[in-house]
Structure 1
């Protein structure tokens, strides 16, 4: 089965991604209208409709559907950006990840291998890791500091203490993985020029393709200093580049 047929089949699942979980955050009528435009093949109008729901109504389903609309318009950079945003909100969703990979394949991109901390981070959204870190920290603190005051000893206390510390360590790794993810952005346009300095008149230092992931090193005004891969380094304006996390 070809890549594009597989993508078309997966794209049909956009209606199945539940918006009910975000019903109180995003206007259902507008979301359904955008879905109707998408179903009619009016991808440009659908993309505009989904964009109007952002940024006040962030949800994985809106970003996912917007990514699908951009894919069908051949705008792989924005499509990849919104699939990445959707994954940040719903990292365990297989449909989002599949369509991201298919879009990268269509754009002839090879994404960099994830760090081990990013692999751990994918098991839960950043908010879940934060809550696990807070709860496990206080549970461990209580077991280590307060339990001896009440003379609570034995294997149960030891086991709970070890478990809470392990969860705290895993949460720290997961949060670090999301910190790394938060330092990335996506190139939006093809053959975007890396500049030597953060000015419009600066000479070029190479070019990057639409959809490429770039690590953000610093921001100066409307420009981002980024590294792409192992050998590309320079400034990109916000007209051709956007962070995954705003």
Structure 2
């Protein structure tokens, strides 16, 4: 009897959860369409309000952030436009429209940051290992390990010495591929975790040598510039530019992109 009651309760909770989820999805779709209508009518601030309401409902998509970026760009608000284009690019790195519009927005920024050139091992790593995400390398490691097991079994049960040599050689090759892919996945995951990109939102801000206003100014940054957050200390964040410059900024002067 008690078991039947528990099952009935679980079924009831499942139905309620499903209904709530469907209602939330329908509401988000309606808000998204409303935002699109406002955008097409040239009412960009109203479009932003509708899109932000969708975002506040824990809806995250490249299309949503792309539309937010477009809306802010139309209002000449450079920092938020770049911020949302960057968020969209995180979710869809290969979208050409996002890449193009992001570049248009970046062309309106003041700071010209030269990217530090890569040399030697770093360049080789980026050109080869960096082409795939750590998830892809992990999947490749698993596939290669499965291939190794199959080939090793074929080697073990094969009756012909010529085939045994082939299967043995291929099994060794795949176990090497699996271990290498696992190592690349680990390296890529470490790099991803160390990447905490952020966008400067202050019109102009002074980057300090230490996390306090009494320290010396290292350089200035302006809205829309992309930085990488290295460390957080109280109300300050240590940032690094693409050209290698490092300094401290107040929390309120920038917004981190990976906040979902």
Question: Does TM-score exceed 0.5, indicating one fold?
Answer: yes
Matched, 1:88 2:90: yes
CA shift for structure 1 position 137: 2.2
Could you say which residue in structure 2 is the equivalent of 1:20?
none
Stretches of structure 1 lacking an aligned partner (at least 5 in a row): 1-22
Distance 1:97 1:43, change over 3 A: same
RMSD (Å) for aligned C-alpha atoms: 3.5
Could you say which residue in structure 2 is the equivalent of 1:5?
none
Aligned-partner Cα distance in 1 for 2:26–2:126: 28
Q: Find 2:108's aligned residue among 106, 109, 112.
A: 106
Aligned-partner Cα distance in 2 for 1:34–1:178: 32
* Kept in 1: contact 2:149–2:171 (CA 8 A): no
CA shift for structure 1 position 229: 4.6
Could you say which residue in structure 1 is the equivalent of 2:63?
61
CA shift for structure 1 position 134: 2.9
CA shift for structure 1 position 239: 2.1
* Kept in 2: contact 1:26–1:57 (CA 8 A): no
CA shift for structure 1 position 96: 0.1
Which secondary structure does the structure 2 equivalent of 1:103 belong to? helix
* Kept in 2: contact 1:118–1:177 (CA 8 A): no
**Alignment length (residue pairs):** 218
Deviations along 1:161-202, whole A, 9 cap, x unmatched? Answer: 56656755665665466445x322111122122234435x54
* Kept in 2: contact 1:81–1:186 (CA 8 A): yes
* Kept in 1: contact 2:201–2:254 (CA 8 A): yes
Distance 1:59 1:204, change over 3 A: farther
Which secondary structure does the structure 2 equivalent of 1:140 belong to? helix
Q: Find 1:70's aligned residue among 53, 72, 80.
A: 72
Could you say which residue in structure 2 is the equivalent of 1:51?
52
Aligned-partner Cα distance in 2 for 1:25–1:173: 40
CA shift for structure 1 position 217: 1.5
* Kept in 1: contact 2:148–2:171 (CA 8 A): no
* Kept in 2: contact 1:91–1:122 (CA 8 A): no
TM-score (normalizing by structure 1): 0.71
CA shift for structure 1 position 70: 1.1
